[in-house]
Structure 1
């Protein structure tokens, strides 16, 4: 049985270790959380290609830095771009594991064991690359005994190509990862949960909306936005007049209704988010709740409302890049994961 207090303590330890190995969040500056490739990027005084390269290309930690065995997995998109990914597959026994004991038979192979555990598809935010999110993967892998597939979008980390909405769309990046899992001889039998932070949340929503009949069990979304043009005036006021030039839309408002009502969604929001105002997550929750068929009218109690297995949780001290270390964050994730098996 998973001990939730120990899970929170473990998560804090993982992120403390990360501080000495790699940065979890983007390089300083809000502008770095606006996706590269925007048509008005050149007019931003705070964003340079050098900053992006330093954040997302040069520094790519590997799971062994955090004591995790992994497979370095190259995935090739439909248009021939190679994405660099890390695959962490469960085994019957994990050395030095602080996670729960999962029962298995003597005849059961590691692969068969992995096929019965959930598989997390991780989509990172704009700053950095998949290597910077390994502490998050470690919580899923060690404490929740999940398989984890994490990738760097094209143009990020050591992945080929250049970032753009087309490049980050499910048919080229996220879709490639989902297709790999659903065609894997063992992972195809496991429940698939998509975890997305910031723009990764928009990628997750897009992927789920394009695959309504696929084997996506649930979504976990943290500090993501309604759509990009609406975010620009709030996150970068000086660029507000240029929002109409934003060719990348990432319109999650339009895509959430396309996700089946049977797909549970956990939304995690930092009240003090300085990049994506909390109103974005609140609006997305209202839309998701209507999709679930509930009536949500009082936004003041939004954090207490969960329709079925879907739930919205706010963290009063959470900023854009530290919500995942707030007290109760991983407890909420663990509770949600547990509810999926009921």
Structure 2
């Protein structure tokens, strides 16, 4: 009978070899296949083929094709304002003599960066709130590999996509005159933070919902089985390191769901601390002053989960109030500048 069974030594060697092979395979899959986990663009089923249009929600829009520097075509939606779009919550006394183009130029433009599942069509109701209630122009970005856009998603690719969207606005004959606000949910928040950190002078404000400090730090919670392999995560999205690159004069609104079971609220709180530190005391010319903190706000919604924070009572009021406050940023900036050591020096020399 003994001939039918392997020896313990042979069995042990075989087990070790199998374990080593499976471990190597697991590491390989974790490293080379992580983009499929991080960017599930085909989920829910049909997300790459069935993409709703703003017209399905009675919103006027333009199909916008953007070609990135690496020759990827992004199929996005642009919702430029219209004088007859309705008063909404942002009551506007529009002069009769104002042209459509002048009206568009007078309103803020929101760039929407969505989360890692689904497509831009799933977020049209949110765009509708920006468009109708707050009277904003809206650019709905569609990352590469999502919806009807070409290519495959990656951190490098999404960074290019975001820059392409911003460049389109800043070179547009009308929209380049508008205040540009970045709105990012989940991984879209990381995209927004990255873009703002590289284009500080072009961004008016950021609105961030349920985003994370970095992907490697999120892996142990979001994917516990892969926690020990978090060091292999090559998609970094290190927002905590990029927040300090955003000037303290850039307003930031942070919206956190206390019941988020995917991105623990500790991540948003850590990012908030980084945002708040932009307002630390500074000294120049022997004068100590503080900048930036009054331009940031953190709002936590006790009933908010990862995907439904935007449906919580008070969410859109917070967003609306924040955007309304930006209308006077330019004047506040001038007044604040007078209070800085440099401004005081100029005043005393007059």
TM-score, normalised via structure 2 length: 0.79
TM-aligned CA distance change 1:226 to 1:47, over 3 Å: closer
* Alignment partners' CA distance in 1, 2:39 and 2:117: 13
* Alignment partners' CA distance in 1, 2:48 and 2:121: 10
Report if aligned partners of 2:278, 2:293 keep a CA contact under 8 Å in 1.
Answer: no
Query: Out of 54, 59, 66, which is 1:63 matched to?
Result: 54
Q: Kindly provide the CA deviation profile for residues 159-215 of structure 1, in whole angstroms up to 9, marking residues without a partner as x.
A: 00000111111xx100011011111111111110000000000000000001122x2
* Alignment partners' CA distance in 2, 1:223 and 1:49: 18
Instruction: Using the TM superposition, give the Cα deviation of residue 98 of structure 1 relative to its aligned residue in structure 2, in angstroms.
Output: 4.3
Instruction: Using the TM superposition, give the Cα deviation of residue 338 of structure 1 relative to its aligned residue in structure 2, in angstroms.
Output: 1.6
* Alignment partners' CA distance in 1, 2:146 and 2:89: 31
Q: Kindly provide the CA deviation profile for residues 131-173 of structure 1, in whole angstroms up to 9, marking residues without a partner as x.
A: 111010000000000000001100000000000111111xx10
Q: Kindly provide the CA deviation profile for residues 285-319 of structure 1, in whole angstroms up to 9, marking residues without a partner as x.
A: 00010012279xxxxxxxxxx93121000000100
Q: Kindly provide the CA deviation profile for residues 259-278 of structure 1, in whole angstroms up to 9, marking residues without a partner as x.
A: 01110110000000010000
Query: Out of 233, 240, 249, which is 1:262 matched to?
Result: 249
TM-aligned CA distance change 1:98 to 1:117, over 3 Å: closer
Query: Out of 301, 305, 309, which is 1:315 matched to?
Result: 301
* Alignment partners' CA distance in 2, 1:244 and 1:212: 30
* Alignment partners' CA distance in 1, 2:177 and 2:137: 12
Within 5 Å, give how 1:130-149 maps onto structure 2. Answer: 130-149=120-139
* Alignment partners' CA distance in 2, 1:49 and 1:271: 24
Within 5 Å, give how 1:1-342 maps onto structure 2. Answer: 39=31, 41=33, 51-52=42-43, 54=45, 56-94=47-85, 98-169=88-159, 172-213=160-201, 215-293=202-280, 307-342=293-328
* Alignment partners' CA distance in 2, 1:118 and 1:273: 30
* Alignment partners' CA distance in 2, 1:88 and 1:279: 35
Report if aligned partners of 1:181, 1:188 keep a CA contact under 8 Å in 2.
Answer: yes
TM-aligned CA distance change 1:116 to 1:153, over 3 Å: same
Report if aligned partners of 1:55, 1:127 keep a CA contact under 8 Å in 2.
Answer: no
* Alignment partners' CA distance in 1, 2:40 and 2:298: 36
* 1:308 partner SS: helix
Deviation >6 Å, runs of 4+: 46-50
Report the structure, 1 or 2, having the larger helix content: 2
* 1:39 partner SS: helix
Alignment-derived partner of residue 300 in structure 1: none
Q: State how many pairs are aligned.
A: 291
* Alignment partners' CA distance in 1, 2:108 and 2:316: 16
* 2:75 partner SS: strand
Q: Kindly provide the CA deviation profile for residues 73-105 of structure 1, in whole angstroms up to 9, marking residues without a partner as x.
A: 00011111110110001111126x645442222
* Alignment partners' CA distance in 1, 2:35 and 2:165: 34
* Alignment partners' CA distance in 2, 1:261 and 1:77: 30
